[in-house]
Amino acid sequence: MELESVSSLRKLKKMALYFGKVSILPEEIGAFLCRLKDLDIRDCHRIKSLPILPSSLLALTIQSCSLLERLPDLSNLKNLSKLWVTECRKLSEIKGLGNLPSLKDLDTTGCLLMRLDGLERLDRLHNFKRLRMDSCRSLTRLPKLPPSLEKLSLSGCEQLGEIEVVAELESLQKLDISSCRSLMKLLNLSKLQRLELFDMRDCESITEISGLRGTE
């Protein structure tokens, strides 16, 4: 089923689509919904792709859309502060992350991502506070992350082989690497003076941890 034209909904600020049979969103959604702040799509199992989204968005949630394979380039979402794309198991790529200057909260739990285009430029996002990538089982490494990051969760990233970049996250308060079974070393954690919670359960391959003496 295709959602009807949205051209008359110019004052719409929030749109929620739950458990629907919608398979296609109108291409004009980006042009006509110029006041839309919050788009929430959950359990829409027939949607395979999304059109270009309104640049006015502050929050975008896409959850459990089992056939979703492609998102548009998100570079136009300059005001977006929250991006949750979770349990979309066919989604292999998210484009434009490095061009989201307002982004504070990114969650990609349960997505089999092969690439996060622009993730290498996340270190330039000075407002970025929270990154959650639990159960992203294809993730093998982390790029450099911004020093503003306070919460990092990588639980169940079974192919993740190293997280050396974490050593430079001086604002980090919470770190969850539980069930990261390919991790072998945690080096130089001495700069993590603000760390309050550190979960490394079921990291069965870790044989070396250094720098904990300097943390409080």
Q: Domain spans of the chain?
A: 1-117, 129-216
d(CA 176, CA 132): 9
| Residue-level pLDDT at 189 | 86
| Residue-level pLDDT at 25 | 85
Decide: helix, strand or coil at residue 164.
helix
d(CA 146, CA 123): 4
174 beta partners: 151, 197
Q: How is domain 1-117 classified at the architecture level of CATH?
A: Alpha-Beta Horseshoe (3.80)
CA distances from 49 to 32, 36, 54 (A): 19, 19, 15
What does the pLDDT profile of the chain (216 residues) look like in tens digits?
445 556 667 889 999 999 878 888 888 887 778 899 999 999 999 999 999 999 999 999 999 999 999 999 999 999 999 999 999 999 888 888 889 999 999 999 998 876 665 666 777 888 999 999 999 888 888 888 999 999 999 999 999 988 888 999 999 999 999 999 999 988 788 899 999 999 999 999 998 887 665 554
CA angle 81, 111, 148 (to 5 degrees): 35
pTM of the model: 0.90
| Residue-level pLDDT at 121 | 74
d(CA 10, CA 36): 8
